[in-house]
A and B are shown apart, each in its own frame.
Chain A
Amino acid sequence: MKYSRVDQGEETVLAIEGVLDALTAPEIRPTIEALVQERRMSIRVDLSSLRLIDSSGVGVVVSLYKRCKAHGGQVRVEGLSNQPLTIFKLLRLDQVFGK
């Protein structure tokens, strides 16, 4: 898994590539924590290069969404395809993050 964070004014783009799962999710948690602590108001999570996600990876994205929303921020997920899209649809998260 690789990820990058780019801040552009009030917006942050968090791009995650490869596999976000029980093995790799702990690697990105400090960045999630930082985004929440800094109260970033608009976060785009770019998953266009994500190959595989499991429930642990979903937990990371949902955690970011709920904690940002709690301080009035917005999180959108973009670029879902293949297996990650299957999981987001199954968990009805495509509706949550597509808004």
Chain B
Amino acid sequence: MRGKLLLRRLGWRLAAGAGVMWGAATFAFVTLHVTSGDIALVTVSANGSDPTEAVLQEVRRQYGLNLPLWRQYVDYLWKLLHGNLGQSYQQHIPVTSAIGMQLVPTLELAGAAAVAAVVLAVTVAVLTAKRRSWVRAITTGTELVLASMPTFVVGLLLLIVFGLELDVLPISGNQGWQSLVLPALTLALPISAVLAQVLQAQLEEVLEQPFILTARARGMREMSVRLRHALRHAAIQLVTMSGYVIGSLLGGAVIVESLFNRQGLGQIMLASTTDKDIPLVTGVILFAALAYVVVNILVDLAYTLIDPRVVTT
């Protein structure tokens, strides 16, 4: 029974995810076509040549740009399904390989930042929820400042302190784990501040519940009560923040990679925005939407593990 319900839930999530991806693809198609100017002209003249009308006609035929719009849309979706995101105007390579080349450094950065953010948030929240008022005042204040600080300011402060004054960590490049520390921390700190705020509020609510009193009455130690009983309930709230986290990671990557001069998707996004390289821009957007959908499905599965009640209702 439970397995069946779980499967049905997963099926619905997959269908919804596919729907979002179809919408994102449509958005990408519309973006490509509202671009002012002739796509054929942009494609050919990116390398500085001045093509004749005959050449343009040939390019239009070659890329199917002379077909009616609905045919182009169907063709676009069809190619997308086969992993073809088109050709970058500026780099003259397929968008998929442009993204593929830069994928790993950004995944490293985002992964490290996500882990750091969750660990920091959970530690701070578990240690400080319902503690003495001055402890709470300090953490609340720090969280507020960190959550308000734009990512580039966080990064610059870390860069100044650890990179320049103390000179213990490299401030740019992609070499080794040392160069990952400051960028990952920059991404992680604002996220962890937001997560800690939410988790703390949730923990304080849960710690008021009767079952916590029962656990304490059984002689359970405070830390065990917090970690084994309260945290599990509070974590549900954390799980629903995954959309915010993935958005901050990918959006923040643009700023962090630029600031620390790291290679990655963020740099691609920034360069293609400045160059008006729309196929590459929409490619990164589609990738971001895909990441959001996949993470949401995974998180939904995690949700059913943390709180078995959600499957049956």
Q: Real complex partners, A and B?
A: no
